[in-house]
């Protein structure tokens, strides 16, 4: 498995990175990453039903539609994101959640997963996940709330029903299942900072299986990812309407060192 410590925090770039890796790499992948303040909506959701547009505009919070289904989540630099991409014709997404619960247990966090693969501590959500299948590959990604601004999270996802009522183009869409949340930081017996958590998580998956190795996103990757970013993930057509330009170059050439 290739393990990628993604240092970029532009949500348009990072969502494009996931699609690029999913569609162009033959190796299994784990990626650890973070986004600057943003709301990431599911592929089949209606922005107007999920996001407080006045608030996000005032706070300059980016809205980005992802490739997977499920509900909306708020990202900031107080949470981390885990992405797994594997070749698998018989997807068992529960095992990804189980691996995350096991990781947390080694940090002294007694977490439980429910039937929606939400991870909770003391009945409060610290992680949500989503997944998709592309040909013979699967992608699963999850958030881990560590020290996120929960007031901003709540305000961002507190949409005004009138936004949908007043829009004639609104169609049937997937609605988020709202849950009370908490931060990992508030549930630790011993103090820990975010950098320690990031190092621990990355090291855990890097050494999870013999043969895993690190991979650094290179200039060739970045050029290809930025094409996808600019033509899809940074566009209003995709983020608000789920539509893209007719032609986005795909697949991108796989770098020679893979």
Nearest residue to 139 (alpha-carbon basis) of 184, 181, 81: 81
Q: How confident is the model at residue 246 (pLDDT cuts 50, 70, 90)?
A: low
Residue with tokens 């609605």: 175
The model's pTM? 0.91
Does the pLDDT value for residue 256 go beyond 60?
no
Q: What mean pLDDT comes out for the span 211-223?
A: 97
Tokens of 52: 């407080």
More confidently predicted of 160 and 196: 196
Q: CB within 8 A of 247, min separation 6: which ones? A: none
Q: How confident is the model at residue 174 (pLDDT cuts 50, 70, 90)?
A: confident
Tokens of 221: 């990757």
Tokens of 68: 């997977």
Q: What mean pLDDT comes out for the span 179-207?
A: 95
Portion of the chain with pLDDT greater than 70, in percent = 90
pLDDT, residue 88, reads: 81
Q: What's phi and psi for 121, nearest 5 deg? A: -125, 120
Tokens of 120: 């909770």
Residues in the chain: 258
End-to-end CA distance of the chain: 11
Contact between 51 and 160 under an 8 Å Cβ cutoff? The reply is no
**How would you classify the pairing of strands 124-127 and 29-33?**
unpaired
Each residue's pLDDT tens digit, 101-146: 999 999 999 999 998 899 999 999 999 999 999 999 999 999 999 9
Q: CB within 8 A of 236, min separation 6: which ones? A: none
pLDDT, residue 220, reads: 97
pLDDT, residue 169, reads: 55
> Helix (H, G, I), strand (E, B), or coil: what is residue 244?
coil
pLDDT, residue 175, reads: 74
Tokens of 49: 């039903």
Portion of the chain with pLDDT greater than 90, in percent = 80
Q: How confident is the model at residue 84 (pLDDT cuts 50, 70, 90)?
A: very high
Domain regions of the chain by residue span: 2-241
The residue ranges of DSSP E strands in 35-91, in sequence order, are: 38-41, 62-65, 73-75, 79-87
Mean pLDDT of the chain: 91
Nearest residue to 142 (alpha-carbon basis) of 117, 106, 107: 117
CATH T-level fold of 2-241? BirA Bifunctional Protein; domain 2 (3.30.930)
Q: How confident is the model at residue 171 (pLDDT cuts 50, 70, 90)?
A: low
80 CB neighbour count, 10 Å cutoff? 23
Nearest residue to 96 (alpha-carbon basis) of 134, 143, 135: 143
């Amino acid at each position: 498995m290739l393990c990628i410590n993604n240092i970029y925090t532009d949500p348009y770039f990072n969502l494009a990175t996931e699609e690029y890796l999913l569609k162009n790499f033959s190796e299994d992948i784990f990626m650890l990453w973070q986004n600057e303040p943003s709301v990431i909506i599911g592929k089949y959701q209606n922005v107007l039903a999920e996001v407080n547009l006045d608030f996000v505009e005032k706070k300059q919070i980016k809205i980005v539609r992802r490739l997977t289904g499920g509900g909306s989540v708020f990202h900031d630099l107080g949470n981390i994101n885990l992405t797994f991409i594997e070749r698998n014709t018989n997807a068992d997404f529960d095992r990804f959640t189980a691996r995350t619960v096991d990781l947390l247990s080694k940090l002294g966090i007694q977490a439980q997963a429910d039937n929606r693969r939400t991870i909770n501590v003391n009945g409060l959500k610290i992680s949500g996940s989503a997944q998709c299948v592309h040909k013979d590959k699967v992608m699963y990604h999850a958030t881990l709330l560590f020290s996120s601004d929960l007031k901003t999270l709540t305000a961002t996802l507190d949409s005004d029903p009138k936004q949908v009522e007043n829009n004639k183009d609104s169609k049937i869409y997937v609605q988020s299942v709202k849950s009370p949340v908490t931060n990992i930081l508030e549930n630790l017996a011993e103090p820990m900072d975010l950098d320690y958590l990031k190092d621990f998580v990355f090291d855990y998956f890097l050494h999870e299986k013999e043969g895993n190795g690190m991979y650094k996103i290179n200039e060739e990757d970045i050029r290809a990812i930025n094409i996808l970013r600019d033509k899809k993930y940074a566009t209003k057509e995709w983020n608000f309407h789920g539509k893209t330009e007719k032609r986005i170059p795909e697949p991108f050439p796989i770098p020679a060192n893979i």
